[in-house]
Amino acid sequence: MAACVMALAACSQQQPPPSEATTPPSATVDLQEMQAAYIGSGSAGSGVLHYQGQSYPFTIGGLGIGGIGASSIEARGDVYNLSSLSQFAGPYAEGRYGFAFGIHSSGDLWLRNKAGVVMHLYAKREGLMLSLGGSAVVITMGNGS
């Protein structure tokens, strides 16, 4: 377990992809998500996109590989390459790493969709979880009700 935590700490030194490193964010997001994993993983949650002075609720859900445990995630982050609200919803590929041990956690989430929209999320997790892998997630605009 200690070796895994040290490997994850090394991953936290990652730099953003070159195109996002020099571009200011187009928007920001806040989200809450529940995640469970045992080799495969599943997640579901909701969030708010803050874009051009407006707030837009959305839901998020996905399936992936890599990880073990269960956690709740609160994340905030930046959205890049968003020039129209219509580009935000849809499927995203997600790369994730992080851990949660009780209320102590670390980790980042990187998501990219086919329109080139990129989200870099800084996650705070609670639970018992070791996450290193990838997923496909789908964002749907609205609050799901």
> What is the 8-class DSSP label of residue 85?
G
pLDDT, tens only, 105-122: 566 778 899 999 999 888
Query: Which amino acid appears at position 101 of this protein?
Result: F
Domains (range + CATH), the chain: 2-8+26-141 (2.40.128.480)
Q: How far is residue 54's CA from residue 45's CA, in Å, rounded to a whole number?
A: 20
User: Contact at 8 Å (CB) between 119 and 78?
Assistant: yes
- With 0.95 as the threshold, say if the pTM is over it: no
Residue 94 contacts residue 136 (beta carbons within 8 Å): yes
pLDDT at 79 over 60: yes
Res 29 pLDDT > 90: yes
Handedness of CA 4, 9, 13, 15 (dihedral sign): positive
State the chain's mean pLDDT as an integer.
75
Structural tokens at position 102 = 């009780």
Instruction: Residue 66: name the closest of 139, 4, 140 by CA.
Output: 4
The span from the CA of 107 to the CA of 99, in Å, is 6
Q: Which amino acid is located at 16 in the chain?
A: P
